[in-house]
Amino acid sequence: MFSRRKSLCLFAVAFYLGLDHFSFASSRYFNLTYLIFTESWKPGGPILFYTGNEGAIEHFAHNTGFMFELAQNLSGAVIFAEHRYYGSSLPFGNFSFLNRSHFGFLTAEQALADFAKFITDFKCANHQFADSPVISFGGSYGGMLTAWFRQAYPNVVSGGVAASAPIWLFPGMADCHGFYQVTTYAYTQAGGEECVTTIREAWSLIDDISKKPGGIAPLSKLFNTCEPFPNANFIYEFAQDYLVTLAMANYPYAASFLGKLPALPVKEFCKALVTCPVGGSLPEQVERFACAFFSLYNYGQEDKCLSFNDNSSVDANGWELQTCMEMTNPICSDGKSDMFKPSTWDPIAFSNACQEKFGVRPRMNWAGVQWWAKDLNTVTRLVFSNGDLDPWSAFGVLNASSAPGATVIRIPTGAHHLDLRGSHPNDTADVIDARLKIREHIIDWIEAWKREYHPLYCLDY
């Protein structure tokens, strides 16, 4: 059963899919949304397949222009498949996150089975694609899925491009300090030690002010908030998260992937820390920090005040639930090797918080069992690409020795899966080179697949 709508040459189609691939406990079906672009496809051309991540699939399609460029170059079709429990692919509709009995179907394993079943059924229903090799793409969590897709279903996927894929974000696989260390590195590269020092000093000064009677009020006024900050810790966490966002979206041109931002937003933030005017009512570092923060947060908008009341979306609920089940991600800081306040990661406290909010406790070691932990010796036809300025690279595959059968590409000026974005006049030489290398590998994978025997398994009933 298909329903279509067309936007920017992409057809949105609903694919009817079983809810549970691994047991017979549920006979429920749901509609999985996918987007398809076939204008460049010619017989024998590949299917470039995006493994959807934690959000509506249209958002990722609009920010992954490289796949469309490859499709034109390789006479390929493009498909973006939405991840179950995100966007419009909600198995239980608006009740998907209201009943604990629904939670167990939100796993990476079920999502990958969705993708494998979809590709098989799609080829069987559209015989012109029967011999088309499938190349998987994904960024961030989607990149993790692409890596695991190639591992779990090599009979379905010819090769994969796992961009900014933090496949080692799980407990015991990487140093929890790495995330904020790389974030700090991005700010150091953009604004030097002066920028990092000012940010460090701002935290302690904000703490000092907030501890005074009525201290939250002048801080709320300084940050130009629409409503008062609830407490000092909220100010810190809110600002910390946004500084990470700037590092992730530190592209060499204006973009709106993680909100409207100018070109090189980290550089702009550091510059504003120096050029912002000060009024003298509060310490200079705090006034400059608040001014820089508001100027970036409000970029391209006309809001007169800063609103932090985020009405949590369904997608946000989905990812928080996933982190409480199988995507547990320890992140910590020491305040010395990074520009943030010292913080530890407490697995017991985290587990208790998950139990309190969702009624579930995380399986912290399951990913290491299911996805081979750091043993990638048998992985083939995969590209792991990472930008050195991307905080998530701290949990990525950065050395060829870690995955001898795969290809590791590092992009010194790259932010979060910059290489998957469409070409731009401001692209740096290293990201241009990365895309060329990826294209060369894809051509090799396509040729290898066509030399091999891959019979398509279809049923007529």
Instruction: Read off the CATH number of the domain in which 55 is found.
Output: 3.40.50.1820
Domains held by the chain: number: 2
21 noted as active-site residue? no
Q: Which of 5, 8, 9 is nearest to 33 (CA)?
A: 5
The pair phi, psi for residue 161, each rounded to 5°, is: -115, 105
With a pLDDT cut of 90, the percent of the chain lying above it is: 88
Q: What is the pTM of this model?
A: 0.95
Domain of residue 409 covers 4-170+368-451
Q: Is residue 461 part of a domain?
A: no
Q: Is residue 430 part of a domain?
A: yes
CA distance 101 to 453: 42
354 and 278 housed in the same domain: yes
12 and 105 housed in the same domain: yes
**Cα angle vertex 254, ends 57, 186, to 5°?**
95
Q: Which of 70, 58, 7, 9 is nearest to 34 (CA)?
A: 58
Q: At what angle do helices 284-297 and 178-211 cross, to 10 degrees?
A: 120
Q: How far is CA 362 from CA 125, 222, 304, 395, in A?
A: 39, 39, 41, 19
Task: Please report which helix (H) or strand (E) contains residue 120, including its range.
Answer: helix 108-125
Q: Is residue 102 part of a domain?
A: yes
For residue range 291-322, list pLDDT tens digits in order: 999 999 989 877 778 887 765 455 678 999 99
351 and 381 housed in the same domain: no
126 and 225 housed in the same domain: no
Q: Tell me if 53 sits within 8 A of 84, measured CB to CB.
A: no
Residue in 132, 140, 158, 220 annotated catalytic = 140
Q: Tell me if 292 sits within 8 A of 273, measured CB to CB.
A: yes
Q: Strands, E, within 171-292: which ranges? A: none
The answer to whether residue 4 scores a pLDDT higher than 50 is: no
pLDDT confidence bin for 14, thresholds 50/70/90? confident
44 and 117 housed in the same domain: yes
Q: Which of 187-196, 199-208, 306-315 has the least mean pLDDT? A: 306-315
Tokens of 63: 């920010």
408 and 358 housed in the same domain: no
Q: Identify the domain boundary among 314, 342, 364.
A: 364
For residue range 152-171, list pLDDT tens digits in order: 999 999 999 999 999 999 99
Q: Tell me if 187 sits within 8 A of 196, measured CB to CB.
A: yes
Any idea what the CATH number is for the domain that residue 343 is in? 1.20.120.980
Residue in 102, 177, 416, 441 annotated catalytic = 416
390 and 313 housed in the same domain: no
Q: Tell me if 239 sits within 8 A of 187, measured CB to CB.
A: no
Q: Tell me if 435 sits within 8 A of 419, measured CB to CB.
A: yes
Q: Is residue 460 part of a domain?
A: no
Average pLDDT, the chain: 93
For residue range 208-256, list pLDDT tens digits in order: 999 999 999 999 999 999 999 999 899 999 999 999 999 999 999 999 9
26 noted as active-site residue? no
CA distance 48 to 133: 9
Task: Determine the pLDDT at residue 132.
Answer: 97
185 and 281 housed in the same domain: yes
204 noted as active-site residue? no
Task: Determine the pLDDT at residue 254.
Answer: 97
The pair phi, psi for residue 74, each rounded to 5°, is: -110, 10
Task: Please report which helix (H) or strand (E) contains residue 252, including its range.
Answer: none
Q: Is residue 324 part of a domain?
A: yes
Task: Determine the pLDDT at residue 2.
Answer: 32
Quick one: CA dihedral 421, 425, 431, 435, positive or negative?
positive
Q: Give rounded-to-5 percent helix, strand, coil for the chain.
A: 45, 15, 45
Residue in 114, 338, 390, 427 annotated catalytic = 390
Could you say which DSSP state residue 332 is in? -
